Structure formats: C-alpha cells, structure tokens
Structure 1
Amino acid sequence: MKPSIKLISNYEYKKLFLPEVSTHDLFNESKLQVYRIENYLTSIVIPVNPYRTSFNFLIFVTKGFVKQQLETSVFDIKANEALNIKQGNFTATLELSNDVEGFFVVYENEIITDIALNKNDLSFFYTSPFLILNAVTFDWIVRAFLLLEEELFTTDRVMEICVALFQSILLKIIRLENKGNEVLSRARYISFHFREQVQRDHVNHKTISYYSNLLKISDNYLNKCVKDATGKPPKQWINEISILHSQILLQDNSRDVAGIAFELNYQSPSYFSRLFKKVTGYSPSEYRLQLAK
C-alpha cells in the first residue's frame, strides 16, 4: 500500500504551484514570511488541486478577491477580509481577480505558541478561519504589515521584531473576533475537537460512536453540538473529509480507484464511487478527467 497524503513543505508549495518564484523566495525557510499577493500568488497555476501544508498561512486581501477552498467550504476573500489556514488543513486556491492585492503570510506553529494566549484567544485558530474586519482595524493591520515587511526585507533585520509585529497583528485580529464572545461555547469546542479527530482517524473510523466515545459524550450530544456549531451533522463531516482525502489520492494516476477505495477502508469500490459522487457531483473517474483538462 502506498503511503497516505503527506504535508507539503513551504519549499514544495512554491516548487509545485509557483513556477516564476525567485530563487531567494524558493529557498526561504524562515518561520515567518510575508509576500505581496500581487507579486507572489498571481503566477500560481489555477485552479490548484487540493493539498495540505506543513505550515500555517494567512491570506489578507486589500483589493480584488481570492477564492480559496478550505476543507469543505469555499471563501471569497475580498478587501477588508482575511482567511487563516492551519497546518494540515485541506485547501486550494481556486481563483484570483486580475486586480488582487494584499498580503500572504507564512508562519510556523511556534509563532502562535510563543504568544501568551488564553483558551478563548486560542479558539480563533480553530473556530473562526474567515474574518471580516472593520475599517479602523483594517487600516491598523495594513500599517502593521508595512512595518513588518520593511523589517523583514532590511539587511540587518531583527527576527524578534518581525515576530513581535506579526504576533501583534494576530492579537489585534483575535481580540476583535472574540469581542462580545467572552466564553467559547461548548458546542464550538466539541465541534473543533471532533473535526480534528476525524482528520486523524477517518481512514480507519467512520462511525459517529467512535468519535463520541473519544470525546466522552453521547452520540446525540455530539450530533447536536456539531450541527449547532457548523450547520452540518457529524456523519456529513466524516464523509466530506474522507472524500477530500480521496481527491488528493486521485491526483496520482498510478493509483486505481478500487485501490483508493480499499486504502480508505470503504466496504467496496462501488460504495466509494457513489459516496464520492454524492459529495462532489462527479464520479472518481469523471473527477480525474476534470483534473486532466
């Protein structure tokens, strides 16, 4: 059996999707990197097939729009808006407007862990990926990004200053997002941990009871929490995350559909194909044909 989906590194991301990237940017492995969307992402090969990264990134749009898939949702990120994408999430850039501008920030987990965040602050990273900013906060963040960009690209840069500036940006966003929501609801908390566990275990475990047992709650309570927090029941999440995983496997033409079905522990290739079509609107074979176009 072939190994499952790996997380692509920052270097691999640039190599795969950015054919015109400079040598300097290609080999930049700093724990914090800031690029202009108009200079960095506009050369991306669109549409990008779903992938998972070993790093986190923030898309902050100041003009135009970016259409980005994150897990099972698609976001149109416009001016004054941002999308935070965690390490390991399924994601893909689907479209960029011709006039798009903004900042694309790559950051490692240690950037987050170095900030003194309380439980409610940390909820931002798993419950609120999409952000709509008010004009005052937007202007403040743009000015902070300009300072961060200036420090990052100066010859005698001080990385501690760069990290502190970005952490200030994150805190500004987090505190705005959490204002008026002082207590992280139990439903959102359970929903997050359920989805994180599904990401890890969906290949071998596709029943609701497995996850409710892990979380030490009843099936009914898990169903209520996840549906209240996300609008979708747990079984739909399990199916959609598993099918997202299979979409990445299907990008490898050396794998046959039946082999992928059994690798993901479906009872039969025909059942897998029916579920794939229910989730995506295409059969696995039709999906491959779409990739080849």
Structure 2
Amino acid sequence: MGKSTLLNHILGQKLAITSRKPQTTRHNMLGIKTEGAIQAVYVDTPGMHKGGEKALNRYMNKTASAALKDVDVVIFVVDRTKWTDEDQMVLERVQYVTGPLIVALNKTDRIEDKAELMPHLSWLQEQLPNAQIMPISAQHGHNLEALERVIAGYLPENDHFFPEDQITDRSSRFLAAELVREKIMRQMGAELPYQITVEIEEFKQQGKTLHIHALILVERDGQKKIIIGDKGERIKRIGTEARKDMELLFDSKIMLNLWVKVKGGWSDDERALRSLGYGDL
C-alpha cells in the first residue's frame, strides 16, 4: 500500500524496507524529520493481518493497533480504489480515533481518468466523515509537501524529543537485518511465505570495514533450498544487493556473510519470537 515508501520519501532517504508483497513491515519504526522548529516523528507500523492465527500475526496486529493510542495524527494509507479485508480492519479501528485523521489515497497518479476516483472518495468520506482525504503518490512524491503541511498544522507545540540529525530510533543491527529481509522478499515474491526472519549475529567495525554476519531463519528445508538457489546463486544475489544498500546507509565498506538455518515453527512460538526481538505478545 505504500506506508514505508511514503516514510522514505518524506525523510528523503531509505529507512524502511519495501517490497511489492503486502505487509512487509513487521515492527513499529520511527522516522524522524526535523526542519527548523518542526520535528515530526512518524511511526511506520505493520499492516493488519486478517485471521492472525500465528503468534507472529497476532504480534503485528497488536503492534499496529497499539500505535493508534500514542500519536497526535493518524495517516491511513490506502491504494487507489482498491479495498481489502485488511483495509476494512484498519477502518474499523481508525473510525474511533478522536484526534486528526488523514486518509492518504496513494498511487492516484496511475489513474488516468480521475472521475473514477469520485465514487470511492465519496464512500471513504461517508465511512470516515471527520477524516481529511488527500490523493498522493508516495513513490513519485506527488502532493507530499501538501501532506506534510497538513500534518505540521496538527502537531502540538513541544520541545524536540530527538537531536535534529537523528532519523530513527532503530539500531544499526536492526536496519541491517531489515535490508537482508527486504532483498529476500524482493527476490522471492510469492515464492516464499511470510515465515522468514533475519538475525544479526555479528556487527563489528574492523578498520575501514564493517563485518556483518546475518542468520536467515526459515521453517522448512524446502524454503532453505529456495533461498540458497541453484549452486548458491540466489543467496549471492541477495547478499550483493543487501551489501550495496548497507554501504550507502552506513557509509562504510561492508563484508556481509549470510547463513540460512531451519527452525521449525518459529513464527508460532512466542518464546522464539521474543528472542528474535518481536517484543511482548
């Protein structure tokens, strides 16, 4: 739907991972933008998961819902005139938000006949009468300056919470793990299910080189074979693409080593999830 793409474009640099697969985001991530007297702290949340049978799904739904209680403005990002079961889940939560609500109608630049939007805009306004609806393009930056001005108008006066050069609350280890996971999801597409995570086992600067060892956890042997690929070609591509992004992010030469390990049932094991940084369930 473009939440993470929107955050990256507003910040002016890549922070949150993106892929064509919905619900790529798994954790709340702060994106911090400071311009003069205004400091906006954006919370990129996981998308809602219908069903939520596994512990991982429950964690993501709980994380996304909890974020609504602690923010000054809610931005509900939807994809043009598409409407999914997950969108409906979000709507059923944000309709009770008492503070400002913005519906960011994303990818509207892809609609040639804007008249097609009118019935959907009217329907959205009926569902959320107190919301301000704004057509945008997260990828191409259309109408994002106007969106930021609206957001800034809603922010309360307060001291800045973060130094003006800080852009996130997440550690370098976390960002490195997310970049590896992004490349896997982009390589796999629909081939690989959601039961995959990445853990950084070593993150050490030696001279001018940053050495990173990443463990990729999957649930079945077949998934491991898919990630490694024929003669290791796929995991090499994943490593090469992740390393390039890491060098830009960390401004350092990177030595990246990847391993794949099978850990059956990790995505439905609450203790395993906590040990992998998924917090309380």
TM-score for the superposition, normalised by structure 2: 0.31
TM-score for the superposition, normalised by structure 1: 0.30
Q: Which has the higher strand share?
A: 2
